[in-house]
Chains A and B, each alone.
Chain A
Amino acid sequence: MVAPAVLIILAFSIYPLLFSLWVAFVNYDFQIPGHAFVGLQNFQEIVDDPLAWSSLGLTIALSITVVAIEFVLGLALALAMVKTFRGRGIVMSILIIPLFISPVIVGQSWALFLQRPFGPADYLLSQLIGRQVEISWVGEVPWVYFSIVLADVWQWTPFMFVILLAGLAAIPPHLYEAAELDGVGAIQTFLYVTLPQLAPVILLGVTLRLLDAVKLFDVIFMLTGGGPGTSTYTTSFYLYQIGFQQFHLSIATAGSWMFLILLSAVIIALVRRLLNAETA
């Protein structure tokens, strides 16, 4: 019964990965015939490329920023939504919409919303602060970073919110009743009852999000195209450029192996956690 699934995964994951390990050590180029063994040269190319390092730095900085913002907003939203009220069902349905939209469309929508002269963002902002605003949201540092964070936060805050809401709803009510009987204030209740009870869910949500955030590609592709210059290259976008725009396939493969190895420690830790949650 497991055979078909295992075969597919073998064919599309293990075999390509082994194949790519070979590609990483040879010179695989459509222009040059033959695949000469070049040892570690492809890896060396990546290590020597300052853009590889700056894109990795940006990937890490962006991931931490967006996940932190999404966590805070998601938690605030979950706390606000945990009690029932009239119209909660409709509000809930609206709040989760971003989860079902292609990241490309999210990138495109924000590009259209922010970009001058077409988007209404500058106009709205001008009205709000009563002064003419002309900001190039997708073409100028530092605003591009703000735009990327905005698009990501828009799409993924609902993810944190949904998971944290499930966690909040699972906290036994008697803990709150006991806290109230003891005359504990709202802030103390949050710090000493809610947060510790929520900790495993928070850890799960944050790790899941971080692992996806480091792959950031689609929004960059649509919103900034890596620009201006190379200032919004993330690791995925960088490897895509090397591999599919410059066609240095072997170098890109070597780079993606290094990226994979960097990530694997986190992946293994998370997978073990998920498995334990399941069998607990």
Chain B
Amino acid sequence: MERARSSSRTRTVRASVGRALTIGWFVIFVLVPLYWVVITSIKPSSDYLTTPPVWFPAKPTIVHYTAALFSYRGLQGLTNSLIIASVATLLSTCMGTMMAYSLARFNTGGRHLALWVLSQRFLPPVAIVLPIFLLFRTWGLYDTLTGLILAYTFMTLPLSVWMMFAYFQQLPKSLEEAAWVDGLSRWQTFWMVATPLAAPGVAAAAVFVFIAVWTEFFFALILTSRHAFTLPTIFRAFLGFQGAQYGEACALATTSLAPSIVLGMLVQRHLVRGLTLGAIRG
């Protein structure tokens, strides 16, 4: 009896040690490369190629940030990214919410419309971007903020539609039905009753859309060159074959990853819904 109890206790201890090790290793695995990038961005260049590597720079500097942002057009990339991500988020969330409401409440277009929107999410970008590139050149949208905003609105619509679709389905209909009884039109009901109720869902969807646009690379790489380039597309310039500018590249990387991580933390609660387009309600 005594032996049985102690062996089961050993097993519990061993299990918790195993759990702690699994988690601990992964936390280190996640943090190490990030730490290296952030620390490189504030290292003086003389600390780059030392053995052993410098993990804690004695004299941190912001010179790479100022150089990357002001001397190498990083600021323009940052501004472009902010404008493009904000406007595309606004457009995608508005259109997506409207469509999701219509799908959820009136079953517009039946299952086929919903299915069709969702399937857009899984098209390989390379298949879409080739013709868009050619059409953009004809339409004069190539290398413009407008062009990229429209492309990203399209790209993120399945995400906003499906996140909001799942959200509206969870909301009780009774308030909206009361509004109809009181003589409000469908539009009035949507704007004055349903949307305010769904505000937390809309906010979460907007953050996911913003992050998706903020971190996108492939569309931006192909649809822009000298003017409408975004933050993710300008790293290449710093990592050329002749004298890579590690500090500047890392400063830009840090500038780019910080906002999306902060935003991500804000919507942590909705993460599962965001990742599975509403299929699992976390």
| Cβ–Cβ contact B278 & A278, under 8 A | yes
Please, how many angstroms separate the alpha-carbon atoms of A169 and B216 in the complex?
31
Check if A25 is an interface residue, CB within 8 A of chain B.
no
| Cβ–Cβ contact A278 & B95, under 8 A | no
Check if A28 is an interface residue, CB within 8 A of chain B.
yes
| Cβ–Cβ contact B124 & A256, under 8 A | yes
The interface bits of chain A over 1-17 (1 if a CB of B lies within 8 angstroms of the residue's CB, else 0) are 11011101101110111
> In the complex, how many angstroms separate the beta carbon of B127 from the nearest chain A beta carbon?
4
Please, how many angstroms separate the alpha-carbon atoms of A2 and B151 in the complex?
18
Given the known interface contacts A100-B261, A104-B235, A272-B115, the answer about A278 and B169 at a Cβ–Cβ threshold of 8 Å is yes
Please, how many angstroms separate the alpha-carbon atoms of A232 and B149 in the complex?
32
Please, how many angstroms separate the alpha-carbon atoms of A260 and B131 in the complex?
14
| Cβ–Cβ contact A12 & B151, under 8 A | yes
Given the known interface contacts A5-B117, A101-B257, A166-B272, the answer about A204 and B126 at a Cβ–Cβ threshold of 8 Å is no
| Cβ–Cβ contact A1 & B232, under 8 A | no
| Cβ–Cβ contact A211 & B122, under 8 A | yes
> In the complex, how many angstroms separate the beta carbon of B193 from the nearest chain A beta carbon?
14
| Cβ–Cβ contact A108 & B154, under 8 A | no
| Cβ–Cβ contact B99 & A162, under 8 A | no
Check if B228 is an interface residue, CB within 8 A of chain A.
no
- When distances are taken between beta carbons in the complex, the residues of chain B under 8 Å from A236 are 124-126, 218
> In the complex, how many angstroms separate the beta carbon of B135 from the nearest chain A beta carbon?
6
The interface bits of chain A over 253-275 (1 if a CB of B lies within 8 angstroms of the residue's CB, else 0) are 10011011001000110111011
From the candidates A19, A204, A256, name the one contacting B280 in the complex (CB within 8 A).
A204
The interface bits of chain B over 107-134 (1 if a CB of A lies within 8 angstroms of the residue's CB, else 0) are 0110101111111101111111011111
Interface of A is mostly: helix
From the candidates A118, A154, A221, name the one contacting B33 in the complex (CB within 8 A).
A154
Please tell me which stretch of A37-45, A76-84, A171-179 contacts chain B, meaning at least 4 of its Cβ atoms lie within 8 angstroms of it. Answer: A76-84
From the candidates A110, A119, A163, A215, name the one contacting B126 in the complex (CB within 8 A).
A215
Please, how many angstroms separate the alpha-carbon atoms of A6 and B186 in the complex?
19
| Cβ–Cβ contact A13 & B126, under 8 A | no
| Cβ–Cβ contact A256 & B127, under 8 A | yes
Chain B residue nearest to A236 in the complex (CB) = B126
> In the complex, how many angstroms separate the beta carbon of A22 from the nearest chain B beta carbon?
9
> In the complex, how many angstroms separate the beta carbon of B77 from the nearest chain A beta carbon?
12
- When distances are taken between beta carbons in the complex, the residues of chain A under 8 Å from B132 are 12, 16
From the candidates A2, A101, A123, A162, name the one contacting B103 in the complex (CB within 8 A).
A2
From the candidates A94, A105, A112, A253, name the one contacting B256 in the complex (CB within 8 A).
A105
Interface of B is mostly: helix
Please, how many angstroms separate the alpha-carbon atoms of A96 and B190 in the complex?
34
Check if B53 is an interface residue, CB within 8 A of chain A.
yes
Given the known interface contacts A12-B132, A105-B256, A105-B257, the answer about A278 and B279 at a Cβ–Cβ threshold of 8 Å is yes
Check if B265 is an interface residue, CB within 8 A of chain A.
yes
Given the known interface contacts A8-B153, A101-B261, A102-B214, the answer about A2 and B98 at a Cβ–Cβ threshold of 8 Å is yes
> In the complex, how many angstroms separate the beta carbon of B190 from the nearest chain A beta carbon?
7
- When distances are taken between beta carbons in the complex, the residues of chain B under 8 Å from A9 are 116-117, 120, 154, 157
> In the complex, how many angstroms separate the beta carbon of B24 from the nearest chain A beta carbon?
9
| Cβ–Cβ contact B232 & A111, under 8 A | no
The interface bits of chain A over 90-128 (1 if a CB of B lies within 8 angstroms of the residue's CB, else 0) are 011111111111111100111111000111100100000
From the candidates B96, B214, B216, B279, name the one contacting A5 in the complex (CB within 8 A).
B96
Chain A residue nearest to B235 in the complex (CB) = A108
Please, how many angstroms separate the alpha-carbon atoms of A257 and B127 in the complex?
7
Chain A, range 68-92, C-beta contacts under 8 Å to B: 73, 76-77, 79-81, 83, 91-92
Check if A149 is an interface residue, CB within 8 A of chain B.
no
| Cβ–Cβ contact B271 & A1, under 8 A | no
| Cβ–Cβ contact A102 & B265, under 8 A | no
| Cβ–Cβ contact B246 & A118, under 8 A | yes
| Cβ–Cβ contact A8 & B271, under 8 A | no
Chain B, range 71-125, C-beta contacts under 8 Å to A: 94-96, 98-99, 101-103, 108-109, 111, 113-120, 122-125
Q: A104-B233, A239-B130, A256-B127 are in contact. List 7 more A-B contacts (CB 8 A).
A: A1-B102, A9-B117, A217-B125, A218-B217, A240-B222, A271-B119, A278-B279
Interface residues of A (CB under 8 A from B): 1-2, 4-6, 8-9, 11-13, 15-17, 19-20, 23, 28, 73, 76-77, 79-81, 83, 91-105, 108-113, 117-120, 123, 154, 157-159, 162-163, 166-167, 186, 201, 204-205, 208, 211, 214-215, 217-218, 221-222, 235-236, 239-240, 243-244, 249, 252-253, 256-257, 259-260, 263, 267-268, 270-272, 274-275, 277-279
The contact sample of 7 A-B pairs, CB cut-off 8 A, is: A16-B128, A97-B261, A101-B257, A104-B217, A159-B275, A214-B124, A277-B279
